[in-house]
Structure 1
């Protein structure tokens, strides 16, 4: 990005990183129908949780910006608990906090390797 974008004043890597860390969460947008889907899940009595890798302030900032926190019984951010997906223990913690069993639970992820450790071929 530093080399390719037409900067008025080109930042160094530290400056760009600081900007990203401060402002990334302010640009988050929920997918179409995300809130309505979460409302329906709650209406059905489903227990919902978030497990996300990343920095606490960024991930919590996005969740709060989007107003998603009330839909979830637990939110685990990897930096808050010093472990990250796909470590099985992070899933055990989520299950315990939600009061559910693994065999009663569905994981919806967006990255097989990061979410459950599956190597893509």
Structure 2
């Protein structure tokens, strides 16, 4: 009985976390470690989200391009330091993250 309650509590916690992450790009970026290398308006290790949004503004394939870069990593797009891939992030979450980055305004 005690084990069942622990498993049920764990399942509820995981479900709630997944739901919050899937709906909030900022939370996904934070929880995925993106904010260790990126910031909204200033370059840290990687480019600022604002610079990324500016680069892709008007590109109809921007979400797909950014999803690919986040998932597989990239090299040479923003300088010499490569970005590692994040292959464990779901496609839905990757799209949410990409849309959030592309919506960055000054």
Alignment TM-score, normalising by the size of structure 2: 0.32
User: Which structure is higher in strand share?
Assistant: 1
- Which gives a bigger RCO, structure 1 or 2 (Cα 8 Å, sep 6+)? 2
User: Which structure is higher in helix share?
Assistant: 2
Max radius of gyration: which structure?
1
Alignment TM-score, normalising by the size of structure 1: 0.29
